[in-house]
Structure 1
Amino acid sequence: MKKEFKFSYQYVNSVDELTAEQQKTVSAAEKAAKNAYAPYSRFKVGAALLLKDDTIVIGSNQENKAYPTGLCAERVALFSYGAQQKKQGIKSIAIVGDGDLLKAGDIFSPCGACRQAMAEYTDMQGESFEIILKNGDGSFTIFEGIRHLLPFIFGS
């Protein structure tokens, strides 16, 4: 029996087409990317969580000579949120990348481990949160939740 999975997303051409809330979150992710420690990949990533009380929690990728002990920006932000015992819930996450790995025509996308971490936090709060990805050409891909990026979540 053949089955099919379909997903949807919103494509936005520029930051000007985002809501004020989305712009705030993307701006925080861009600032976070400047704090990335990426001497090996030279690919800086920033992530920002917008919480339901409008607090922002940021993360940036942190590399290490003893690969793979570094950590992606998305997980830094999510784990920081968890470590601070934030309970107000996540509204959205914005993720941006800067470096030669992201070409002008490329769609930016989180790695599988980060997708699974997003799935975990979605399960913890009992509802999905928006995922905003800044692409190589300055456009944005926006997903309603992680199930659109990771349909067969581990443990589901």
Structure 2
Amino acid sequence: MKEIKIETKLRLFEGLGELPIDAFNLMQSAINARTKAYAPYSNFSVGAAILLDNGAVVTGSNQENASYPSGLCAERTAIYAAGAQYPDAKMLKMAICAGSKTNITQTPIPPCGACRQAISEYEIKQSTPIEIYFMGETGQVAQSLSIKNLLPFMFDKSVL
């Protein structure tokens, strides 16, 4: 038997004011995108923004549906839009802001598993990491320098 040890390294900022200016501006775009979420079932709104190497910022918000599996998370809305609109651009950074309409979220809320897998697909495709910043409505902001910190055992085309 062999034991495997997995370590994850994240940076934690005490609030938006501690972020580098480019990350602050990107998070502001995610916060704005969150206001466009359609979340009548979960009452949980999420906004995401992606900075591309060409300077463009692509945003997305979660879009729910009465047939729950038909909805889409903000992260995947943004990442698929970026991939469709700018297929040759690299994704440098992603910012995510999430919050509930029923209680205040003050801790960083990371992408769900399906979104982590979608982010990993693009990180692998472009052969460079995507920096990810995530937060609740207020409070601390977490930073991961790569999706590998959030999804250490990535499923990719090499196993197909």
TM-score interval w.r.t. the shorter chain? over 0.9
Matched, 1:16 2:41: no
TM-score w.r.t. length of structure 1? 0.94
Q: Which residue of 2 aligns with 1:37?
A: 38
Q: Helix, strand or coil for the counterpart of 1:68?
A: helix
The whole-number CA distance in structure 2 between the counterparts of 1:138 and 1:20 is 17
CA RMSD of aligned residues (A): 1.4
Aligned length: 155
* Structure 2 unaligned regions, length at least 5: none
Give unpaired runs (5+ residues) of structure 1: none
Alignment-derived partner of residue 113 in structure 1: 114
- Three-state SS of the structure 2 residue aligned to 1:64 is coil
Q: TM-score, normalised by structure 2?
A: 0.91
Q: How does 1:2-151 map to 2 (within 5 A)?
A: 2-99=3-100, 100=102, 103-104=105-106, 106-135=107-136, 137-151=138-152
Contact 2:33 2:48 in 1 (8 A): yes
- Counterpart CA distance in 2 for 1:136 and 1:58 is 17
Q: Secondary structure at the match of 2:77?
A: helix
The one-letter code of the counterpart of 2:64 is E
Residue pair 1:32, 1:48 contacting (<8 A) in 2 also: yes
Distance in 2 (alpha carbons) for counterparts of 1:6 and 1:129 = 18
**Matches of 1:85 and 1:49, distance apart in 2:** 12
Counterpart-to-counterpart distance in 2, 1:73 and 1:140: 17
Percentage of matched positions with identical amino acids:
38
Structure 1 residue ranges, 4+ long, deviating more than 6 angstroms after superposition? none
Write the deviation string for residues 63-117 of structure 1: whole angstroms up to 9, x where unpaired.
Answer: 000111000000000000111133221110000002147643x331111000000
CA deviation profile, 1:37-87 (whole Å, cap 9, x unmatched): 000001000000011122100000000001110000000000001111332
| Contact 1:95-1:132 at 8 Å conserved across structures | yes
* SS in structure 2 at match of 1:54: coil
Q: 1:102 to 1:130 in 2, by over 3 A?
A: farther
**Residue identity in the other structure for 2:43:** R
1:124 positional shift: 1.2
Amino acid at match of 2:125: M
